[in-house]
Amino acid sequence: MLVDAARMSRVVCFILLLLAASPVWPGAWLREKDQAFTAASVTAFKDPNGMYDYKTAFYAEFGYRPGLTIGLDIEENRDLYGHALLFARLPVADFGNRGRFAVEFGAGAHHRYRNAWALYKVTLSYGKGFQTGWGNGWVAVDTAVENRTHDAVFRKLDFTAGLSADRLLNPLIQVETAYTPDRPLFWKARPSIMIRPQDSRITWVLGLERNQARTDTGLKLALWSEF
């Protein structure tokens, strides 16, 4: 069931109150011991009839000890379907300026309406920092195999790149893909702007989302926090 504008406003307000934020990227990078990161987002879609649809997400990770980061990944598409995943990330190799690799093991559950099933995921991540005339940046590539036990095994390839210069606005681009045999390739693309006032630990991430399953463009608002 689609939601009206008033309900959408309440969801946005809840997310805004949930977190404060500062810029950070996961993937191949691990957290320092006792350091944590949380993020929350809401993505709203508006169909040609003027009705609203939305999805929410929450992400957290914690440096449990040197060389081990643990975390939680939750996504919910209204109350129709979603997942909750616990994961552990371990370093694989660090090649200095040429980048680094990490592996992540996850287990949890996914649901459709009131039915739920086990979910398992293994991810290999590569990350590298770089320098440009517009400031420092990073690029991350994540390859994953995700087993949704009631459905299929999905093969995923994600790409993230952004700048982290000391200024108010920095660009961010995220592309996610998922493939399973006998189905069309699923993809989503999110160009975004990271907004961080000087001397502030709060970063707002505002972006657009297009994906293979929808004809409308979504508006995404995210907040990140590192502590």
pLDDT at 26: 63
pLDDT at 25: 54
Among residues 192, 172, 219, the alpha carbon closest in space to that of 12 is found at 219
Does domain 5-226 fall into CATH 3.40.1010.10?
no
pLDDT tens across the length of the chain (227 residues): 444 444 444 443 433 333 333 334 567 899 999 999 889 999 998 877 777 888 999 999 999 999 999 999 999 988 788 999 999 999 999 999 899 999 999 999 999 998 999 999 999 999 999 888 888 899 999 999 999 998 889 999 999 999 988 889 999 999 999 999 888 899 999 999 999 888 777 788 999 999 887 778 899 999 988 88
**Cβ neighbours, 10 Å, residue 224:** 24
Q: d(Cα 124, Cα 142) in Å, to the nearest integer?
A: 6
Contact in structure between 82 and 111 (CB atoms under 8 Å) = yes
- Torsion on CA atoms 177, 182, 115, 212, rounded to nearest 10: 40
Contact in structure between 156 and 178 (CB atoms under 8 Å) = yes
pLDDT at 135: 85
